[in-house]
Amino acid sequence: MTKRYKISIAYDGSEYAGWQIQPDNMTVQEQLEKAIEQLTNEKVKIHGSGRTDQGVHARRQVAHFDLEKPFKTGVLKKALNAILPADIRVMKIDIVYSSFHARRSAVSKEYRYFIWNAEIVPPFLRKYRTHVRKKLDIAAMRKAAVHLRGRHDFASFTANTRKEIDGKVRNLMKLTVTKRGSEIIIAAKSEGFLYKMVRSLAGFLIRVGEGALSPDDALSILYSKLRTAKVPTAHPEGLFLWRVDY
């Protein structure tokens, strides 16, 4: 009898072309599907909670797949981690009801964007922090973030409006800026995000922090519904899919 498995995955996205399978490029989904087939002799399709771009990491990506032959979750987790590359790890596996869907059943996602704001970034953090040398004005970034919270049309903060077949209105439940020493963390939570929306929000907030834009520019950019050079897409290495809630 077919069973549905929900898995939580952590991965270092540095060497991958993103989550979703692509021709001629190595992806996280591809590696997981290959490992499951090697272990179970079943060809499966993994459905993720969402896509991550090239170079983006995940602390807790969630996905599901079905197997005809039953496996104990502990055995399956241990065996998959023995097969997978060291930069992908299955953190947890649960058997769930057949109607569970990793994307459609999710009620919210949280991303965190990490900035190293100092002259020199430690070499062991270079793949996991976006390096900004100019001192950032945290108070200004926080003021801009307040303007962006709530339900809005975020057309100005997506890299490709044509990809958004479900519309561009999203409820940004959380957008905070936290500083710990040289590290600045932008946390964003919503029921769903547009294409490259979090990196666009981070790119805008960085420009505000540098003094190139004012916090109040958030309102005029938001209401314009037009993507311009005022909203750059921040580099991918600082971005982590932090958690998915159900």
- Please give the C-alpha separations between residue 112 and each of 21, 82, 93, 229, in angstroms, as whole numbers: 24, 28, 23, 23
One-letter amino acid of 119: E
62 and 133 co-located in one domain: no
Q: Residue 98 phi/psi, 5° resolution?
A: -65, -20
> pLDDT at position 164, please?
64
35 and 82 co-located in one domain: yes
Hey, is 208 helix, strand or coil? helix
115 and 91 co-located in one domain: no
> pLDDT at position 1, please?
86
Residues tagged active-site: 53
**Domain CATH for 192:** 3.30.70.660
Report the alpha-carbon distance of residue 95 to residue 73 in Å, rounded: 7
> pLDDT at position 166, please?
77
90 and 118 co-located in one domain: no
Report the alpha-carbon distance of residue 42 to residue 2 in Å, rounded: 12
119 and 219 co-located in one domain: yes
136 and 224 co-located in one domain: yes
Annotate 131-146 with b (16+ C-beta within 10 A) or e (fewer): bbeeebeeebbbbbbe
229 and 123 co-located in one domain: yes
Per the structure block, which two tokens stand in for 102? 């990793």
* 0.75 exceeded by pTM: yes
What's the domain count of the chain? 2
Q: Residue 50 phi/psi, 5° resolution?
A: 175, 175
88 and 186 co-located in one domain: no
- Spatial CA neighbour of 88 closest among 13, 162, 187: 13
Flag whether 101 is in a domain.
no
Flag whether 103 is in a domain.
no
Flag whether 102 is in a domain.
no
92 and 140 co-located in one domain: no
Flag whether 121 is in a domain.
yes
11 and 129 co-located in one domain: no
- Spatial CA neighbour of 208 closest among 191, 230, 225: 230
State which of 96, 123, 155 marks the end of a domain: 96
87 and 203 co-located in one domain: no
**Domain CATH for 11:** 3.30.70.580
Can you give the residue range of the structural domain that contains 120?
Answer: 108-245
State which of 51, 66, 96 marks the end of a domain: 96
State which of 72, 96, 120 marks the end of a domain: 96
pLDDT tens for each residue of the chain, 246 residues long: 899 999 999 999 999 999 999 999 999 999 999 999 999 999 999 999 999 999 999 999 999 999 999 999 999 999 999 999 999 999 999 999 999 999 999 999 999 999 999 999 999 999 999 999 999 999 999 999 999 999 999 999 998 766 666 789 999 999 999 999 999 999 999 999 999 999 999 999 999 999 999 999 999 999 999 999 999 999 999 999 999 999
Flag whether 147 is in a domain.
yes
47 and 90 co-located in one domain: yes
Flag whether 20 is in a domain.
yes
